[in-house]
Amino acid sequence: MRRAAPRWNFHKYLIGPDGEPRGWFPTRVTPEDPALIRAVEAAPPGESP
């Protein structure tokens, strides 16, 4: 995964259950964006706290 520094507020990171980054999305991507939703749904499940 290419590392990206946030360019503005609301830069989003998808973090796996192991604490490692799994993806990132720039500011212009909204929480309702299909690509973001697919990435979250495809992420491996984590342990409950």
Domain ranges of the chain: 12-42
| DSSP 3-state percent helix, strand, coil across the chain (nearest 5) | 20, 20, 65
Per-residue pLDDT tens digits for 1-49: 566 677 777 889 999 888 888 889 999 999 999 999 999 998 878 765 5
Q: What is the pLDDT of residue 3?
A: 63
Q: What is the pLDDT of residue 45?
A: 80
Q: pTM for the full model?
A: 0.69
Q: What is the pLDDT of residue 5?
A: 72
How far apart are alpha carbons 15 and 42 in whole angstroms? 12
Q: What is the largest CA-CA distance in the chain?
A: 32
